[in-house]
């Protein structure tokens, strides 16, 4: 009996030891991924100085950046916060104290963040939107940078990402999404179709606005990207409710957050309060695109 107990003790002891060692190894691997430095050739983006371009940059930033960085672009503390995983503050983009505008030494630093998902030192940032903002055309990216550089300074020191060892382990075993720098295409030059209410421009807007991050690669719904929120997003193809909406109903839904069937879209889940600033042409383009893509069944788990 004693022998058996001793034997069980030894097996358990070595198992616990193994788990500990595996945990430490995974943790170190996670650390290595977060500290890896990347380098990409410069895009040499033109940053326009004329008012029309800066105004256009403001318009794009309104739908693309403010939801996460705040209306004054001063950054949001605990933009993501989940006790056991850690926290992420979105960056202060202005030139005030603690702002990226003060830290950045060149336009290329902005391009590194928005197109490649790395900080000025080449290390990964955890800005999930990079999978969409990497698709911004050179022209749009230049206009957005011009606008961001023009906003009044806000003094606000933010802390970036603070991941716990558990989060680093989950990153390595694939329980957290990969880092944006690991998945985007790193194109140096991107062009966009002409602006206007066309299917092609609608695709470009969908590709640059995070719709796929939440509604899935085929836009037929998917798991909400924040793993702590258990929601399946609705199908935007003709296989879903949107397929039965007129263009006017679609535009009204994005502007008011109220669907034709009277359902209120939760602005904490579906960022219609950012998208409501899209112009009629932009929303028309997205509607046309959604009605053109393959009709798919609603994603279910
Ligand atoms: C879905 C949310 C989200 C959206 C949308 C978003 N960002 Fe961010 N951004 C973040 C977060 C979070 C961070 C901090 C990442 C970190 O510290 O790892 C960040 C960091 C940054 C940084 C700082 C990088 C650094 O090295 O510190 C810049 C610059 C930036 N974002 C620009 C933009 C611009 C411009 C837009 C709009 C085109 C935008 N972001 C849209 C969430 C977002
Ligand atoms: C951060 C995640 C997220 C992003 C980004 C996002 N959506 Fe949504 N969307 C949702 C969720 C969640 C719902 C369901 C909300 C609810 O029922 O309260 C939704 C609902 C909708 C609906 C209503 C559909 C229906 O059948 O009722 C439409 C239309 C829609 N989204 C379009 C878009 C478009 C277009 C984009 C990109 C421009 C987009 N969404 C980006 C999460 C997102």
- Of 75-84, 90-99, 280-289, the range with the lowest mean pLDDT is 75-84
User: What average pLDDT does range 269-277 have in this prediction?
Assistant: 96
CA–CA separation, 264 and 270 (whole Å): 10
Q: How confident is the model at residue 154 (pLDDT cuts 50, 70, 90)?
A: very high
Residue 254 near ligand 1, beta carbon < 6 Å: no
pLDDT at 1 over 80: no
Q: Which ligand is nearest to the CA of 243?
A: 2
Please identify which residue in the block is written with the tokens 């890896």.
Answer: 36
286 Cα–ligand 1 center, Å? 24
Q: How far is the CA of 60 from the centre of ligand 2 (A)?
A: 18
- Please check whether residue 138 is in contact with residue 115, taking contact to mean a CB–CB distance below 8 angstroms: no
Which atom of ligand 2 is least distant from the CA of 261?
27
Provide residues with CB under 6 Å of ligand 2.
Answer: 206, 209-211, 213-215, 224, 231, 233-234, 236, 240-242, 253, 259, 263, 265-266, 269-271, 275, 286
**Nearest ligand (C-alpha, residue 34):** 1
Q: What whole-number distance in Å separates Cα of residue 120 and Cα of residue 194?
A: 32
Ligand in nearest proximity to the CA of 223 = 2
pLDDT at 83: 84
Which structure tokens are listed for 68? 């996460």
Greatest mean pLDDT among 22-26, 84-88, 289-293 lies in 289-293
Give the list of residues 6+ apart from residue 5 with CB closer than 8 angstroms, or none. Answer: none
CA gap 267, 275 in Å, rounded: 10
- Mean pLDDT, rounded, of the chain: 95
Nearest-atom index, ligand 2, CA of 264: 18
Ligand 1 pocket residue status of 275, Cβ below 6 Å: no
What span, in angstroms and rounded, lies between the C-alpha atoms of 116 and 216?
A: 21
pLDDT of 250 over the 90 cut: yes
Each residue of 114-151: pLDDT tens digit?
999 999 999 999 999 999 999 999 999 999 999 999 99
Ligand 2 midpoint to CA 8 (Å): 53
Is residue 147 in contact with ligand 1, taking CB distance under 6 Å?
no
Please write the tens of the pLDDT for every residue from 184-225.
999 999 999 999 999 999 999 999 999 999 999 999 999 998
Provide the pLDDT confidence category of residue 228 given band limits of 50, 70 and 90.
Answer: confident
Q: Residue 110 CA: which ligand is closest? A: 1
For 251: left if phi > 0, alpha if psi spans -120 to 50, otherwise beta; the answer is alpha
Burial of residue 171 (number of CB atoms within 10 Å: 0-12, 13-18, 19+): buried
**110 with 44: CB under 8 angstroms?**
no
* Residue 278 neighbours by CB under 8 Å, 6+ apart: 63, 205, 254, 286
Nearest residue to 43 (alpha-carbon basis) of 125, 91, 110? 110
Distance in Å, CA 103 to ligand 1 centroid: 14
């Amino acid at each position: 009996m004693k022998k058996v107990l001793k034997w069980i003790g030894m097996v358990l002891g070595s198992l616990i030891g193994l788990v500990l060692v595996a945990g430490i190894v995974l943790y170190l691997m996670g650390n290595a991924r977060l500290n890896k430095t990347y380098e990409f050739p410069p895009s040499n983006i033109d940053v326009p100085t004329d008012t029309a371009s800066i105004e256009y940059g403001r318009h794009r930033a309104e739908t693309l950046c403010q939801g996460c960085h705040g209306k004054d672009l001063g950054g949001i503390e605990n933009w993501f916060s989940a006790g056991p995983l850690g926290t992420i503050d979105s960056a202060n983009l202005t030139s005030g104290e603690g702002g990226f505008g003060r830290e950045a030494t060149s336009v290329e630093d902005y391009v590194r963040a928005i197109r490649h998902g790395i900080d000025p030192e080449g290390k990964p940032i955890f800005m999930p939107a990079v999978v969409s903002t990497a698709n911004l055309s050179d022209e749009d990216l230049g206009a957005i940078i011009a606008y961001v550089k023009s906003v009044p300074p806000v003094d606000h020191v933010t802390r970036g990402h603070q991941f716990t060892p558990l989060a680093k382990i989950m990153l390595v075993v694939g329980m957290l999404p990969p880092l944006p720098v690991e998945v985007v295409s790193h194109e140096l030059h991107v062009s966009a179709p002409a602006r206007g209410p066309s299917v092609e421009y609608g695709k470009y807007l969908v590709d640059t606005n995070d719709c796929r991050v939440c509604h899935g690669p085929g836009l037929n719904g998917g798991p909400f990207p924040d793993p702590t929120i258990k929601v399946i997003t609705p199908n935007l193809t003709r296989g879903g409710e949107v397929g039965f909406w007129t263009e006017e109903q679609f535009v009204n839904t994005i502007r008011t957050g109220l669907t034709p069937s009277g359902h209120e879209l939760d602005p904490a889940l579906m960022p219609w309060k950012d998208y409501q600033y899209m112009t009629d042409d932009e929303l028309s383009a997205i509607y046309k695109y959604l009605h053109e893509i393959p009709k798919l069944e609603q994603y279910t788990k």
